[in-house]
Amino acid sequence: MKVQDIMTTPVFSVAPSTPIGEAAQLMLAHHISGLPVVDASGTLVGVVTEGDFLLRSELGTERKRSPWLQFFLSAGKAADEYVHTHGRRVEDVMTRDVVATTRGATLENVVEMMGRRHIKRLPVVEDGKLVGIIARSDLLKALAQRLTSEPTDAGGDDAVRKAIIAELGRQFWSSNGLVRVEVEGGNVTLSGTIFDERERLAACVVAENAAGVKSVEDQLVCVEPISGVIIMPPPKDPDAQS
């Protein structure tokens, strides 16, 4: 899946000269936590977020330093901070070093950048122009859609069994094929031996994710490889819904 498949467009944006009060009202009205900043030509020049409004003189939240710490602060740094806490325009508080992405980027790449840079959204640009935005909420919507629209017809019990075995075979933790899979009427039974109790839930998740599965019964036996302690599967709960 690519960025272009789930990005939001058109995008609410502001100009560098927009008053910060107007930008804040726009964010509140549309329940968004950040806005791209574009110039008259549509070129992305910055991003303004809720975090840029936290240190403000109007709130009494600007950074206060003791006199001895101020001694080590350069005049330029102090002036820059003053603009950020007292400035009236978006360009006074916005982040200029913008991390952006493209229409063709993968969601894996987007999530990696969001995590590495600790950001919640990425502007989408094409030839320097803003064409969309992708936020964590867009990823959440895409996930919800996939989880609620997966096909239920997997082609019969044998196809379900083969799909589960194939997925287990792709996983490093799956104990080299010691998990046995039986499927009858879409009801899966997992049996065999595992060597780490955490593999139990992982194997059940594999089965639950296979299209066409109605229920999963855990009959796996865990053998602790060092002590030899045997952990039996949990007792059946007749009222449990898988």
Question: Are 98 and 40 within one domain?
Answer: yes
Q: Give the pLDDT confidence score for residue 151 in this predicted structure.
A: 62
% residues pLDDT > 90 (the chain):
69
The total domain count for the chain is 2
Q: What CATH number does the domain containing 99 carry?
A: 3.10.580.10
Answer yes or no: are the C-beta atoms of 133 and 36 closer than 8 Å.
yes
The domain in which residue 83 lies consists of: 3-146
CATH number at residue 189: 3.30.1340.30
User: Based on the domain organization, do 140 and 172 belong to the same domain?
Assistant: no
> What digits encode the pLDDT tens for the residues 14-34?
999 999 999 999 999 999 999
181 & 77 share domain? no
Read off the pLDDT band of 134 (50, 70, 90).
very high
Reported as a pLDDT band with limits 50, 70 and 90, residue 227 is confident
Same domain? For 116 and 164 the reply is no
Chain segment 55-64, per-residue pLDDT in tens: 999 998 887 7
**Domain match, 193 and 164 both:** yes
Q: Which of 81, 116, 146 is the last residue of a domain?
A: 146
Q: How confident is the model at residue 94 (pLDDT cuts 50, 70, 90)?
A: very high
Pair 22, 95: CB distance under 8 Å = no
From 105, 94, 100, 90, select the one nearest 123 (Cα to Cα). 100
Domain shared by 68 and 172, yes or no: no
pLDDT digits (tens, 9 = 90+) for 192-208: 999 999 999 999 999 99
34-38 and 230-231: which strand pairing?
A: unpaired
Write down which residue in 117, 146, 175 finishes a domain: 146
pLDDT band at 71 (very low <50, low <70, confident <90, very high): low
**Residue finishing a domain among 126, 146, 166:** 146
pLDDT digits (tens, 9 = 90+) for 146-165: 887 766 666 899 999 999 99
Establish if 51 belongs to a structural domain: yes
pLDDT of 187 reads: 95
- 72 and 104 in a single domain? The answer is yes
One domain, residues 225 and 165: yes
* Mean pLDDT of the chain, nearest integer: 89
Q: Does residue 36 have a cis peptide bond before it, meaning omega lies within 30 degrees of 0? A: no
What φ, ψ does residue 104 adopt, rounded to 5°?
A: -90, 0
Do 204 and 226 belong to one domain? Answer: yes
